[in-house]
Amino acid sequence: MAIMTYLEAIADGIRTEMRRDPSVFMLGEDIGIYGGAFKLTKGFIDEFGATRIVDSPISEAAIVGAAIGAALNGMRPIAEMQFMDFVTCGFNQIVNVAGTTAYRWQMGVPMVVRGPSGGGVGANPFHSRNSEAWFAHASGVKVVCPAFPADAKGLMIASIRDNNPVVFYEHKGLYRKIKEEVPEGDYSIPLGKARVVREGSDCSIIAYGSAVHFALEAAENLAVEHGYKVEVVDIRTLVPFDEETVLASARKTGRVVIAHEASLTAGFGGEIAARIADKAFEYLDAPLKRVAAYDAPTPFAPTLEKAVLPNAAKVRQAVEELLRY
């Protein structure tokens, strides 16, 4: 075990797989000599060389298209989006090409599209989007949104080894903010397995990514101040979705708040709410509530960004409303 930041754990996962499997390589903008916009790939080119750490043109469509071609020819590419906002430029390649190839040709496309997402760091509308719900809606694409360093490493290794295209969201606000013990060497976590990160009996908070940390802060404050026992479930992967763990928590507590940083309308929280309403309705003692960002671009001004995005206080307020219901 070693203490790692969220960023270091992701880098360690990629490095571990590149050392183990020569078919794994990376391509993206400024990932080589420069070491990446967030320095996640710092030193990679010295170890693996320019044929496996490939600096690309500024074209996400080209990056993803080249990755698909490489994957179809026996390689396992990791395509970096310098910011996940710009995955829009490669959207067609991921959704219409990579996502449908297994159905059309009975061929896997073992590739990972990864990069920083999310707000809270004053990065303006072009560098703060949480777009994971787009890909959750696309058949044939898996979607991963880790909240902790150990999970980020284990899920990254599992994503690289998967024979399907995986879109891997790394919240940039977590990159250097959190540290924890992370297993060294070969360590993977199966995709599609949620984790109960805090046990409770009074209310459940279902979350992923940065919202897991909002949920844990809200749960801790409610426990200290009022003695409430709030359960927090980190779903970790949107696709595959661990419905069983989420439903078990909803049935256990009877009250559910669903939290994510992405905007509210058509966010993945709506899918979670629908699953619970469909299969655990008779266990609920209060309406389902969602906490998410406003349906607006993420402002650059810190005060406005704080107002638009969810936080621990907003999650706590939602839990308290359900507990009073």
pLDDT tens for each residue of 191-248: 999 999 999 999 999 999 999 999 999 999 999 999 999 999 999 999 999 999 999 9
Band of the pLDDT at 41, cuts 50, 70, 90?
Answer: very high
User: What is the CATH number that goes with domain 195-324?
Assistant: 3.40.50.920
User: Residue 272's pLDDT is what?
Assistant: 98
The DSSP letter of residue 121 is S
Q: pLDDT above 90 covers what percent of the chain?
A: 98
pLDDT at 56: 97
* Residues with active-site annotation: 127
pLDDT at res. 302:
92
What is the tens place of the pLDDT at every residue in 305-321? 999 999 999 999 999 99
Task: Indicate the domain borders of the chain.
Answer: 2-182, 195-324
- Closest among 296, 295, 242, 292 to 268, alpha carbons compared: 292
| C-alpha to C-alpha distances, 127 to 39, 94, 95, 297, 309, nearest whole angstrom | 17, 20, 21, 10, 14
Cβ-based neighbour number of residue 139 at 10 Å: 10
Task: Write the CATH number of the domain with boundaries 2-182.
Answer: 3.40.50.970
- For residue 35, give Cα distances in angstroms to 48, 87, 273: 13, 20, 40
pLDDT digits (tens, 9 = 90+) for 250-271: 999 999 999 999 999 999 999 9
Q: Is 30 exposed, middle or buried (0-12, 13-18, 19+ CB in 10 A)?
A: middle
Q: Which residue has the tokens 């309406």?
A: 287
User: Same topology for domains 2-182 and 195-324, yes or no?
Assistant: yes
Predicted pLDDT at 127 = 94
The Cα–Cα gap between 254 and 323 comes to 10
The predicted model gives 65-82 an average pLDDT of 98
CA gap 276, 249 in Å, rounded? 10
pLDDT at 96: 96
Dump pLDDT digits (tens) for 22-31: 999 999 999 9
Q: What is the pLDDT of residue 106?
A: 94
Please give the pLDDT value at position 53.
Answer: 98
Q: 220 to each of 18, 202, 210, 232, 266, how far by Cα in Å?
A: 39, 13, 16, 10, 29
Say what the pLDDT of residue 323 is: 97
Q: How confident is the model at residue 248, as a pLDDT?
A: 98
Three-state DSSP at 25 gives: strand
- Tell me the mean pLDDT in the region 175-193: 97
Look at residue 167 in the predicted model and tell me its pLDDT. 98
The predicted pLDDT at position 68 comes to: 98
What pTM value is reported for the model?
0.97
Contacts of 211 (CB under 8 A, 6+ apart): 147, 259, 260, 261, 291, 310, 315
Q: Helix or strand or coil: residue 154?
A: helix
pLDDT for 238: 98
Identify the CA nearest to 216 among candidates 264, 257, 155, 253: 257
